[in-house]
């Protein structure tokens, strides 16, 4: 039986670097059903003092190699032949230079590999995304708690049409400035327009749209309440919905003086998120276990109509003393 080894990417974050091999093993186990063979004996082992993720199976097809190449933690892929590691070509899916992911630096930015992991797990659960890709159509992604757009950028790297909702107008302005400057500096043709809502329930909200390379991709970022995601997205449904929920105790809601906990945020917004998830689509959420239990998040998503996806391994890991992070994925039938 052929054996393979995955070398994990380096990470500037020491804590995440320590967790990376186990997270990569968990990610591989979660997407294993999409390989052409039964992936067996997934585990972390030290080779020459360096941790690798090992697995057994059959000869890799192009699709298998593509999947392994685009796992969030893959730095290199090897065929393991006894004590010898034979390097295999990687096939990363990259529609832009990787500085689209790495160039942004700001306090509170989610680790880039973790954002990639969250998106991969959600894509793997979304039959809508796979069906759309098989037809040659653009996969669509929404981040309902978009911050400064890190999940949206990862979606752009995959060639998706992307959208986000963010309440903080400063974050929205920062992302608009970043993405338009990035496209200009990289000589990517684009057209940006701003929309302001002055009447009705969206009064005071706004959005900006970017047409990238004459319709190759589209981007929309709305500044408003995520509980009104359907209206802010003009009724559009999305194949993949991903969000890194606020790690703190409080999160701005519908006004400057109105705040709600992460639990309240999900309870208030889960039905809206369900309404913008396409049939066969999936939602993936990351959150801080110290501010919300898995049971609370599960109940909120199930009450909204989602079906929880069970993974063979845990994605729980410690970020710091105040944050223990985990991932939950659910689908819409």
∠129-134-137 over CA atoms, to 5°?
Answer: 70
- Tokens 């959208």 correspond to 163
**Is the distance from CB of 201 to CB of 258 less than 8 angstroms?**
no
**Which H helix or E strand runs over 307?**
strand 307-308
Handedness of CA 266, 267, 270, 272 (dihedral sign): negative
141 has a pLDDT exceeding 90: yes
5-14, 58-67, 320-329: least confidently modelled range = 5-14
User: What are the residues facing 43 on neighbouring strands?
Assistant: 54
How far is 71 from 62, CA to CA, in rounded Å? 15
52 has a pLDDT exceeding 80: yes
How far is 152 from 162, CA to CA, in rounded Å? 6
**Is the distance from CB of 266 to CB of 274 less than 8 angstroms?**
no
**Which H helix or E strand runs over 205?**
none
Whole-angstrom CA distances from 271 to 182, 228, 310 are 34, 10, 21
pLDDT at 259: 53
Q: Provide the pLDDT confidence category of residue 39 given band limits of 50, 70 and 90.
A: very high
Q: Summarize the confidence of residues 3-29 as an average pLDDT.
A: 93
Q: Summarize the confidence of residues 83-89 as an average pLDDT.
A: 97
How far is 305 from 36, CA to CA, in rounded Å? 31
How far is 144 from 237, CA to CA, in rounded Å? 12
In sequence order, what are the residues at sequence separation of 6 or more whose Cβ sits closer than 8 angstroms to the Cβ of residue 245? 145, 262, 265, 266, 285, 286, 287, 288, 292
Q: What is the pLDDT of residues 287-326, one digit of tens each?
A: 999 999 999 999 999 999 999 999 999 999 999 999 999 9
Angle between helices 262-275 and 294-303 (to 10 degrees): 30
pLDDT at 260: 67
With pLDDT > 70 as the criterion, what percentage of the chain qualifies?
96
Greatest C-alpha distance within the chain: 69
Q: Provide the pLDDT confidence category of residue 251 given band limits of 50, 70 and 90.
A: very low
- Helices and strands (H, E) in the chain, number of each type: 10, 17
Q: What is the pLDDT of residues 87-110, one digit of tens each?
A: 999 999 999 999 999 999 888 888
pLDDT at 254: 42
Q: What is the pLDDT of residues 179-197, one digit of tens each?
A: 999 999 999 999 999 999 9
With pLDDT > 90 as the criterion, what percentage of the chain qualifies?
91
223 has a pLDDT exceeding 60: yes
pLDDT at 148: 96
- 71 burial via Cβ count (<10 Å: 0-12, 13-18, 19+): buried
Q: Where are the domains of the chain?
A: 3-88, 99-331
Q: Provide the pLDDT confidence category of residue 165 given band limits of 50, 70 and 90.
A: very high
Question: Which of 141, 137, 168, 165 shows the shortest CA–CA distance to 152?
Answer: 141
pLDDT at 252: 41
- Tokens 């997934």 correspond to 42
272 has a pLDDT exceeding 50: yes
Question: Which of 331, 223, 228 shows the shortest CA–CA distance to 279?
Answer: 331
Torsions phi, psi for 52 (to 5 deg):
-125, 155
DSSP three-state, residue 300: helix
117 has a pLDDT exceeding 90: yes
In CATH, the architecture of 99-331 is 3-Layer(aba) Sandwich (3.40)
Mean pLDDT of the chain: 95
């Amino acid at each position: 039986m052929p054996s393979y080894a995955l070398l994990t990417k380096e990470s500037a974050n020491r804590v995440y670097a320590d967790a990376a091999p186990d997270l990569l093993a968990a990610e591989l186990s979660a997407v294993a059903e999409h390989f052409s063979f039964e992936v067996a004996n997934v585990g972390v082992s030290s080779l020459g003092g360096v941790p690798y993720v090992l697995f057994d199976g059959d000869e890799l097809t192009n699709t298998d190699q593509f999947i392994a190449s685009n796992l969030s933690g893959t730095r290199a892929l090897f065929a393991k032949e006894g004590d010898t590691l034979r390097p295999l070509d990687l096939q990363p899916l990259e529609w832009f230079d990787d500085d689209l992911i790495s160039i942004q630096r700001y306090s509170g930015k989610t680790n880039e590999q973790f954002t990639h992991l969250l998106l991969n797990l959600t894509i793997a659960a979304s039959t809508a995304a796979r069906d759309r890709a098989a037809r040659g159509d653009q996969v669509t992604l929404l981040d309902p708690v978009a911050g400064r757009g890190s999940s949206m950028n990862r979606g752009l790297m995959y060639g998706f049409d992307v959208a986000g909702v963010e309440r903080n107008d400063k974050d929205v302005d920062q992302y608009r400035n970043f993405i338009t400057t990035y496209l200009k500096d990289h000589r990517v043709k684009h057209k940006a327009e701003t929309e302001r809502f002055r009447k009705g329930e969206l009064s005071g909200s706004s959005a900006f749209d970017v047409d990238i390379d004459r319709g190759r991709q589209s981007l929309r970022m709305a500044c408003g309440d995520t509980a009104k995601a359907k209206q802010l997205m003009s009724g559009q449904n999305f194949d993949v919905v991903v969000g890194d929920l606020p790690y703190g105790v409080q999160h701005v809601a519908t006004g400057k003086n109105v705040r709600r906990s992460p639990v309240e945020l999900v309870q208030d917004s889960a039905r809206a998120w369900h309404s913008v998830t396409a049939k066969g689509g999936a939602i993936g959420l990351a959150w801080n276990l110290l501010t919300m239990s898995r049971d609370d998040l599960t109940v909120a998503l199930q009450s909204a109509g989602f079906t929880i996806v069970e993974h063979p391994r845990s994605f729980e890991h410690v970020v710091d003393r105040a944050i223990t992070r985990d991932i939950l994925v659910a689908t819409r039938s």
